[in-house]
Amino acid sequence: MEQTIRQTWAFVFRGYHLTRRYLSWVIVFNFYALVTSATVALIGVAAQDYQLTLTLVVGALLWNFMSTLYNEIAMSIAYERWEGTLEYTFMAPVSRFIHLLGISLFSLFNSIIQTVIVLAGLLILTDLNLSGANLLGVLVTISISAVAFVGLGLMAAVLPVMSPERGAEATHIFQGSLLLVSGVYYPVEVLPKWLQPLSALSPATYTLSACRKLIGIGNSGSTREHLVSAPLSAVTRELVVLTIMGAVLMPLGLWVFGKVEIWAKRHGKLKRTG
C-alpha cells in the first residue's frame, strides 16, 4: 500500500516540479484563461442582464475546469513521447491504473487552481453576487462530472500513444467538438437540429445544466441581489446520467488504454517522437 501511494505520488511530484520550472508559461496560460473568460462574461455585463452574465460566467468557469482536466490527462502521454520518457514510465513496475490515477490527480489539482484563479478574476471584473446559490450542490456536481471527464481524458490519451502529432490533433478536435455541442455559452436548442443529439453524449451538457439550476439561473425568483437556487434533488436526473457516464467512461478508458499499449508494444510505437 505504501509503495502504491509513493507510485501515485510520483506523478504529482513530477507535475509539481514541471509546473514550477515552467512557471512563466503557467502564468501566461492562467492569464489567457482569465482574459478569455472575462471577455465572454463581459458580454452579459454590457447587455445589463445579470442572468446572462451568470450564464456566461458559469459556462466559462466550468468549461475552464473541465477542458483543463481533460486536456492535461489527454496530452500527458503526448508530452512523454515528445520528451522520450514514456518508455521509462512504461518500464516501471507501476500498474496502468496507478499511472493514470496519478496523472489524473495532478490534473485535478491543476484544474481546481486554474478555476479558482479565473473565478477570483471574474469576481473582480464583473461584480458578481452569488448569495443564495447552492455552492455545495455545485461542488458535488463538479466532483461527479470530474470522473466522467477523467474517463474521456483517458480515452483521448491513447491517441498520442498511436501517433503523438495526429493524436494531439485529434484530442483538440474532440475538445472543440465538446465545446460546440455542450451548451457552454448558449442553450443547446440554438444548435442546428442535426447537431443537437450530440449534446446528449457530452458530460459537460449535464454538468452545466445542473450547475445553472443550482446557482439559480433561470429561476423566476432570482434577483441581482439574491439568487433562488434549486436543491440538489432537483438535478437528480443530471447527477444520475453523470454517474453512469463516469462509471462507464473510466473503466472503458483504462481498458482501451491497455489494448492500445499492447498494440504499441507489438508495433514499436513507444519510442521518442518529436
Partner 1 sequence: MKYPAIEVYNLKKSFRKRNGFWKAKRSWALDDVSFTVGQGETYGLLGPNGSGKSSLIRILSTLLIADSGEVRLLGHALPEEQKAVRRIIGRVSVDAAFYKKLSARENLLYTALLYGQKARTAERRALDILERLGLEDNKFSTPLEEMSRGMQQKISIARALVINPPLLLLDEPTTGLDPKSRRDVQAFLEELRRQEGRTILLTTHDMAEAERLCARIGFLARGKLVAEGTANQLKELAHAETLDDAFIKLTGEKLADEEKGNEEVEMVGEV
State the residues that interact with partner 1 by CB under 8 A.
Answer: 2-4, 6-7, 9-10, 13-14, 17-18, 21-22, 83-85, 87-95, 262, 265-268, 270, 272
Which is nearer to partner 1, 52 or 264 (by Cβ)? 264
In angstroms, give the least distance from the CB of 155 to partner 1: 23
Which is nearer to partner 1, 4 or 236 (by Cβ)? 4
Amino acid, single-letter form, for residue 253? G
Alpha-carbon gap, residue 53 to 177, rounded angstroms: 23
In angstroms, give the least distance from the CB of 112 to partner 1: 23
Alpha helices in the chain (DSSP H): 2-21, 23-46, 50-83, 86-91, 96-126, 135-162, 164-181, 196-199, 203-215, 236-267
Which is nearer to partner 1, 196 or 273 (by Cβ)? 273
In angstroms, give the least distance from the CB of 170 to partner 1: 20
- The one-character DSSP state at 186 is S
Which is nearer to partner 1, 14 or 172 (by Cβ)? 14
Cell reading at 253? 478508458
Query: Which of 193, 215, 191, 172 is closest to 62 using CA atoms?
Result: 215
Which is nearer to partner 1, 99 or 212 (by Cβ)? 99
Which residue reads 504529482 in cell numbers? Answer: 12
In angstroms, give the least distance from the CB of 71 to partner 1: 19
CB 223 within 8 Å of CB 120: no
In angstroms, give the least distance from the CB of 256 to partner 1: 18
